[in-house]
């Protein structure tokens, strides 16, 4: 069973889907990610783009993020997210949408702005780099936004992209790559 690691909802248990359709981030990886960004969460507006059970967005809220938008293409997954949100008590800070990630980015362009984004798709999708490009192109990122990517065999290279500073780039075992980026671009 997953749990919130720290913050106002520390120790609260989270439900997951009883299916192979989602792959929750392991506790070890979640701890490493949140250790890397722990001083950069307060008052951030979170986008959890492949929400699954919502654990990344909820962990951020527990640590002081102001709001979270949960996107997932599965209605069943979104019901689990909503149940977990009720469990941890953040219902008034959250919005939800059952949507394909591409459709959400296209339709939200110019309406939403985020400064902490979690992109953790099913590994077989290999769409992290594409999702980042679409977010930048749709003006959904505030300057200074932190983007956390978790992927399988896809290990996108942002080292030559002037819009980003790489805060952390590592792998866990042979199957999980973590990249944490700082978005330096945006409107003047």
pLDDT digits (tens, 9 = 90+) for 19-58: 655 667 788 889 999 999 999 999 999 999 999 999 999 9
pLDDT at 166 over 90: yes
- Domain presence at residue 7: yes
Q: Answer yes or no: is 123 within a domain.
A: yes
Give residue 184's pLDDT: 94
In this predicted model, what pLDDT tens digit does every residue of 98-150 receive, in sequence order?
999 999 999 999 889 999 999 998 877 889 899 999 999 999 999 999 999 99
Is residue 188, in this structure, part of any structural domain at all?
no
Domain count, the chain: 1
- Please report the pLDDT score of residue 19 as a whole number: 63
Angle of helix 128-137 relative to helix 101-108, nearest 10 degrees? 10
168 DSSP β-pair partners: 180
pLDDT-derived band of residue 174, with 50, 70 and 90 as boundaries? Answer: confident
Closest Cα partner for 119 from 51, 23, 21? Answer: 51
**Mean pLDDT (whole number) for 69-75:** 96
Residue 186 pLDDT exceeds 90: no
Question: Which CATH number characterizes residue 102's domain?
Answer: 3.40.50.150
Q: Is residue 128 part of a domain?
A: yes
């Amino acid at each position: 069973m997953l749990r919130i690691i720290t913050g106002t909802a520390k120790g609260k248990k989270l439900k997951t889907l009883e299916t192979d359709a989602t792959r929750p981030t392991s506790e070890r990886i979640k701890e490493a990610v949140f250790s890397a960004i722990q001083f950069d969460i307060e008052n951030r507006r979170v986008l959890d783009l492949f929400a699954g059970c919502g654990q990344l967005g909820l962990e951020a809220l527990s640590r002081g993020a102001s709001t979270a938008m949960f996107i997932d293409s599965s209605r069943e997954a979104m019901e689990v997210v909503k149940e977990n949100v009720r469990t941890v008590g953040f219902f008034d800070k959250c919005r939800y949408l059952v949507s394909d990630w591409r459709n959400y980015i296209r339709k939200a362009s110019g309406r939403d702005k985020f400064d902490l984004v979690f992109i953790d798709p099913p590994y077989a999708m290999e769409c992290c780099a594409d999702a980042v490009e679409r977010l930048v192109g749709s003006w959904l990122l505030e300057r200074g936004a932190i983007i956390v990517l978790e992927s399988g065999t896809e290990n996108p290279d942002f080292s030559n992209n002037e819009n980003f500073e790489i805060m952390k780039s590592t792998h866990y075992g042979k199957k999980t790559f973590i990249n944490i980026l700082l978005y330096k671009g945006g409107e003047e």
